[in-house]
Amino acid sequence: MSYLGIDLGTTRSGVAVVEADDPTLLQNNAGDRLTPSVVYYRDDDDDVLVGKPAKNKQKEQNDRIVTDAKRRMGDDHVYAIDGEEYTPAAVSSEVLKQLKDDAEEFEDDISGAHITVPAYFTVDQKGAVREAAEIAGFDEIDLLHEPTAAAIGHGFDQEMNETVFVYDFGGGTLDISLMDVEGNSFDILATSGDTTLGGIDFTEAIMDLLADEFEQNNGIDLRSDPEARESLRAEAEQAKIDLSGREETEISAPLLGQIDDEVVGITERVLRRSEFESAASGLLDRAIDPVEDALKKADMDAEDVDTVLLVGGSSKIPAVQEQLTDFFGFEPTKTNDLAKVVAKGAAIVADLEDGIDEKYVCPECPQGFDYFDDLNDHLSTHDPDDGIACPYCDEVLDTKGDREDHIGLEHPGELGSGGEEGGKYPTGKKKILSRSLGTDLVGARMDILIEEGSELPATATERYVPTADDPEQIPVHVYQGEDVENLYSNEKLKDWYVEDIPETESGRPTIAVTFEIDDDGLLEVSAELVDSDKSVSTTVDRITGSRSNGTSKGPADDD
């Protein structure tokens, strides 16, 4: 039975396995080790094209292509094509199916995957990724944070014990994570980034430079024609790649397309790196802002960072590397395969028997959390003037660095070794539920099924009798919070209905409602009739709102 490591990227995705203790990216059906995260929906049948074949269709049928599904994960956006609507999860499932199919050419009996997600992904976004994987046919699914995978992929066969700044600059997004890495313990201290900044923006900077120049000289805007625009984009992308390894490159594309019966093209245009950097200066400024933001969130300075780890194809841009070197005072760490290290790290984790420990650590106190949303909720309880408490005594320090120095001097024997207990501070390793979950089936009160602090995974079932006689459907509302008496002060997660309820002798059927929440915080709710020869059940995923079995329907979410 094989388990894959998958990097589901914004612009490109990869799949890896561990063979003979060596993490290896597998080739796709085109012979490449990275697959464009592009899906093309055919107009003649129900089939789709994924990867390079789909990307090649951009020039002619751009309205049938989806290229940004990852950016839309977890929201209500749909892609309308030929009267059909496709969610971001459905689109991403096609990419995952393709990766799975490609892997099956090399590996037998694939049942599970470790799929990487940005550290800042909310539970909604993580749930959408899980839904995509389920649609793609994976039976066992684990989610792994991309910076953790990158650190593991980089530090394979190394014992790491340091503060790592992961700078993941891909084709569509800039994702930054500041981590304490100690053995197999990965504490995420802060995250930042820009979800609308990536390599595609640098490509467009070159496109605009060339198009503006062509329009000034010829009176024709190359961007006005779809075919010419996409041809120009391909030339600009290649020029961007070339300029990462040389000071200048020549663009020669005499046939970009035809506009108003005139053949248009660019020939013998020498583009210098300095021109590119000038055109992209605003983007470079944006690329450094999240660096400062992450350090500020963690209450740390640049000198507190031991290693800056570059990940993603856009981190190959020399100007990006230079500004990071200037900021931190030392050169970032580069691997030979910046775009592939995340998938390799995921494969390593998939191959580990004991797994790893990931958590988000509060920058103000030593408390750790399994979910990013829980950390954000916790941070709102801190007063900025409170200072930073020592976890071993009553001392309150001004900065995190002061706390580290204090612990080293006053409590030198307390620091963890990264072994079985892991981590620097005495934070719990068990995953627990941060807020209670329940329903309103007992009137205008919240009936809690799974309490705050319950260890995950957890399951609870309660029986309810509706107040109406012979109801055709029973509404079930899912809430999270702690206020039992005031239902509406809690957060409503979902509305859904149990339908097709048969008549009973008493006129009031009993239904059993079950809440089941897994390690990733994904909640499944099911309901069935009690003492009836007809079973009715339905499920709703807290994270994605997806429903199964065709027996439930619900209005749009209120939140």
Set out the domains of the chain in order of their start, with CATH numbers: 2-197+287-351 (3.30.420.40), 199-281 (3.90.640.10), 437-548 (2.60.34.10)
Q: Which of 111-115, 153-157, 476-480, 554-558 has the lowest mean pLDDT?
A: 554-558
What pLDDT sits at residue 162?
87
pLDDT of 545 above 50: no
Query: For the residues 462-488, what does the mean pLDDT come to?
Result: 77
What pLDDT sits at residue 256?
93
pLDDT of 155 above 90: no
pLDDT of 232 above 90: yes
What count of Cα atoms within 13 Å lies in the side-chain half-sphere of residue 100?
Answer: 24
What pLDDT sits at residue 166?
92
pLDDT of 374 above 70: no
Q: Which amino acid is at 547?
A: R
What pLDDT sits at residue 427?
33
As beta bridge partners, residue 23 has 18
Tell me: the pLDDT tens digits for 293-313?
A: 999 988 899 999 999 999 888
Tell me: the pLDDT tens digits for 120-150?
A: 787 788 889 999 999 999 989 999 888 888 8
**Which of 308, 305, 302, 356 lies closest to 335, judged by CA?**
308
Determine the 3-state secondary structure of 274 from DSSP.
Answer: helix
Q: Are 90 and 78 in contact (CB under 8 A)?
A: no
Residue 26 DSSP code: P
pLDDT of 62 above 50: yes
Of 186 and 254, the structure prediction assigns the larger pLDDT to: 254
Mean of pLDDT over the chain? 80
Let me know if 34 is exposed, middle or buried by CB neighbors in 10 A (0-12, 13-18, 19+).
buried
pLDDT of 360 above 60: no
Q: Confidence class of residue 63 from pLDDT cuts 50, 70 and 90?
A: confident
What pLDDT sits at residue 556?
31
Residue 356 DSSP code: -
Tell me: the pLDDT tens digits for 481-507?
A: 888 888 888 888 777 777 766 676 666
Tell me: the pLDDT tens digits for 304-356?
A: 999 999 988 899 999 999 999 999 999 998 876 677 888 888 888 888 755 55
The two tokens of residue 369 are 């959390």
What pLDDT sits at residue 241?
93
pLDDT of 104 above 80: yes
pLDDT of 250 above 90: yes
Distance (Å, whole) CA 518 – CA 508:
32
